[in-house]
Structure 1
Amino acid sequence: MHMYILGSGGREREREREMGVAIVEPNTCIRGCCRSDSIPLHLPPSSYSLLNPIARGAESVVYEAVLDGNKVAVKKPILSTSDHIDKFHKELQMLCKLDHPGIATLVAAHAKPPNYMFFFKFYESLNLAEKLHVEEWNPTFDQVLTISVQLAKALQHLHKLGIVHRDVKPANILLDENLRPHLADFGLAEYKKDLKRVSMENWRSSGKPTGGFHKKNMVGTLIYMAPEILRKEIHNEKSDVYSFGVTIK
């Protein structure tokens, strides 16, 4: 097997400086449907260790972890069915294409059984929801403007790629040590071209009406949903923009 360190390029050089993780060829998931020239997709067990869980959801657990001596955040999906594994691969394919300073940085993944995991850069501050409602942070006008512009640019980047996030909200906005925002959690994201088909499928409700949930065409978080989603219309870029507006209001 051929091994090499992350190659040249903006985000690639950043990942190399931060992680120094070797890529082993063939750098693909177990199915061969996901590939990256800059993000390692399978890791030796000795290269990482999971520490304390820092967040739990219906579909995943997020851990503080160490990867090659660097602190990272690991999202470990709960994969109990083949549909869940399909969803992991779809999310990984999408994350491998994202390269923007306003989007949470995927630094590695483990895309082979028995452990399927996403390794993200660790953001030292709280997410925006915790910052506002737990710490009772009162941002200045300049801070609000900076966060708003960065998030708007991140959404613009997604929409140019044909991706609709579908769950923009403060809890999915991670803040770094300089309070710069990074949009995270692409578990509900879809390509616009697939939204009509996906929206017509029978989604199962998670039983959490104020959190992320699926129910027919209604996908996202209730208080941030655009009116057309509540009317069971199909998501589009404007739905993300509405959620963005509610988030920064």
Structure 2
Amino acid sequence: VAPRSIARMVVTELPNLSPAALPRTHTLHNSPTSELYAAMMEGTPVVVKRTKITSRGEILRFEKEVALLLECSHPNVVQPLAQMRAPPTYAFVMPLFAHGALFGVLHNSGQQLSLRGALSVIADVSSAVTHLHAVGVLHRDVKSDNVLLDGSWRAVLVDFNASERTADIREDIVAPSRPSGGFFK
């Protein structure tokens, strides 16, 4: 985990919005640790990722996720647009991606990616992961649910909840044992 002061310093760089400023239009996903919902911000569709806070550790996890996103600026890594830090609400705002998750495109939409489209997604995700590793971050949950596709079919890596800085990883650190989706759906 990043030193608390660094995470807080980076997170405070984002505009802080009131939860009332981004009313929910519909729920996109709900898990034990977070909720994603669509909203409008200044006439633009966005997604709000709200962390479900049940302990102090989850506030630190929220701060770390946002700090990592800001530190890892890259065209294929989602960038937060704003945050909501009004206890008990801890959330950040990101763009709404026109085509949604790669998983949905591959399994639910009835669409097929062309060979060129598939290679483009692979190149985009590889570029994101290469950049993360170059700046000392491991994503630790790369999967089709965490790859979003914009209106131009550009792939963007999201969900840095399990991510760690390589400098913070020691042999005795074990990832939290909770299914992330995938085969457990």
Residues 142, 178 of structure 1: CA spacing in aligned structure 2 closer, same or farther, 3 A cutoff?
same
Residues 59, 109 of structure 1: CA spacing in aligned structure 2 closer, same or farther, 3 A cutoff?
same
Q: Corresponding residue for 2:123?
A: 149
- Out of 81, 84, 100, the position equivalent to 2:58 is 84
Q: Corresponding residue for 1:246?
A: none
Alpha-carbon RMSD: 2.6
Q: Corresponding residue for 1:103?
A: 77
**Alignment pair present for 1:160 and 2:134:** yes
CA distance in 1, matches of 2:10, 2:167: 21
TM-score (normalizing by structure 1): 0.65
8 Å Cα contact 2:19/2:89 also seen in 1:
no
Q: Percent identity?
A: 27
8 Å Cα contact 2:98/2:149 also seen in 1:
yes
- Out of 14, 23, 26, the position equivalent to 1:39 is 14
Give the counterpart letter for 1:182 in structure 2.
Answer: V
What do the CA deviations read for 1:132-166 (whole angstroms, capped 9, x no partner)?
A: 01124322111111111111111111111100000
CA distance in 1, matches of 2:63, 2:124: 28
8 Å Cα contact 1:62/1:74 also seen in 2:
yes
Gaps of 5+ in 2: none
Q: Corresponding residue for 1:128?
A: 102
CA distance in 1, matches of 2:102, 2:7: 36
**What does residue range 1-249 of structure 1 map to in structure 2 within 5 Å?**
33-35=8-10, 39-40=14-15, 42-45=16-19, 47-196=21-170, 199-200=173-174, 203=176, 205-206=177-178, 208=179, 211-212=180-181
8 Å Cα contact 2:66/2:80 also seen in 1:
no
Give the counterpart letter for 1:33 in structure 2.
Answer: R
Higher relative contact order by CA 8 Å / sep ≥ 6: 1 or 2?
2
Q: Corresponding residue for 1:12?
A: none
8 Å Cα contact 1:34/1:92 also seen in 2:
no
8 Å Cα contact 1:30/1:112 also seen in 2:
no
What do the CA deviations read for 1:164-202 (whole angstroms, capped 9, x no partner)?
A: 00000000000111211110000000001112167258x
Residues 78, 121 of structure 1: CA spacing in aligned structure 2 closer, same or farther, 3 A cutoff?
same
Q: Corresponding residue for 1:235?
A: none
Query: Displacement, 1:99?
Result: 1.5
TM-score (normalizing by structure 2): 0.86
CA distance in 2, matches of 1:155, 1:49: 33
8 Å Cα contact 1:49/1:67 also seen in 2:
no
CA distance in 1, matches of 2:7, 2:72: 19
Query: Displacement, 1:30?
Result: 11
Query: Displacement, 1:116?
Result: 0.7
